[in-house]
Amino acid sequence: MNAIDNLVALLSRLPGIGKKSAQRLAYHILEAPRSYAETLATALSTLHDSIKRCSVCGSFTETDPCPICTDKTRDATLLCVVERSQDVRVIEESREYGGRFHVLGGLIAPLDGIGPDDLAIGSLLARVRNERIREVILALNPTVEGDTTSLYIQKMLKDMPAAVTRLASGLPVGGDLEYADRLTLARSLRGRVTM
C-alpha cells in the first residue's frame, strides 16, 4: 500500500469520513504546504501526552484537577452530569452555566452491554454526598439511552437532599447534544425541570 492509500485508510476510520472524503482530505494535505502536515502530525503525536482525565470530574484536561473543578468563582453546589467530555465544552459555550461538571463516560445501553457499573455513577453519588451538592442537572442526550440513564440516576439520588433536574425540552428529540446551537442549549438550561 502506498503512502496516500495508507493515509486514506487511516482517515476513513474517523466518524463521518467515508472513502471519498478521506481521499479528498489526503490530496488536500498533499497539495497544502508541507508545514501543515507536519504541524498536524505533531499535534496528533503529542495529544495523548498533553491531555489526561480530570480525577474529580472525568473530563479531558491538561492539568489535574481541571480548571473548572479548581475555579473558586464557580458554584460548587451545582453539578451538571454529562455523557462525554466534549459535552462540557458545548455547555460552557452556552455561557449559561456556572457550576461544576461530572462526566459519566457513556450512557446505560443494555443492548450494547453497558450497565450502570461501566459508568462513573458511583463517583457521582459520592460527590453529591461529600460535596454537599444542592442540585444535580442531568444534561444527557434526549434519546432512549439518555432518558434511561437520567431515570436511573434520579432513582439513586432519591434519598439525598439534592434536587435533581434535567435539561428542558427544546432539544430536538432523538438528536445529539453536541450539535445543538448555543441559544437552544441556553434556553433548555434556563427552563430545566425537576424530575
Contacting a copy of itself within 156-175 (CB under 8 A): none
Of the candidate spans 32-40, 134-142, 151-159, 163-171, the one that interacts with a copy of itself by CB under 8 A turns out to be 32-40
What is the CB neighbour count within 10 angstroms for residue 124? Answer: 22
DSSP secondary structure string, 60-97? EESSSS-HHHH-TTS-TTEEEEESSHHHHHHHHHTT--
Contact predicate 68/100, CB 8 Å: yes
* Residue from the set 178, 182, 191, 193 that interacts with a copy of itself by CB under 8 A: 178
C-alpha distances (whole Å) from 49 to each of 60, 91, 123, 134 are 12, 25, 25, 36
Residue with cell 425540552: 169
Of the candidate spans 26-34, 134-142, 152-160, 161-169, the one that interacts with a copy of itself by CB under 8 A turns out to be 26-34
How near is the Cβ of 166 to a copy of itself at its closest, in Å?
23
Of the candidate spans 19-27, 115-123, 131-139, 153-161, the one that interacts with a copy of itself by CB under 8 A turns out to be 19-27
Contacting a copy of itself within 58-87 (CB under 8 A): 60, 62, 84-86
Closer residue to a copy of itself (CB): 58 or 128: 58
Task: Give me the residues paired with residue 194 across strands.
Answer: 165
* Residue from the set 12, 21, 170, 174 that interacts with a copy of itself by CB under 8 A: 21
Position 100 contacts a copy of itself (CB under 8 A): no
Per-position b or e across 12-40, b if 16+ CB within 10 A of its CB: beeeeeeeeebbebbeeeeeeeeeeeeee
Contact predicate 147/102, CB 8 Å: no
* Residues found near a copy of itself in the complex (CB under 8 A): 2-4, 6-7, 10-11, 13-17, 20-21, 23-25, 27-31, 34, 36-48, 50-51, 60, 62, 84-86, 89, 178-179
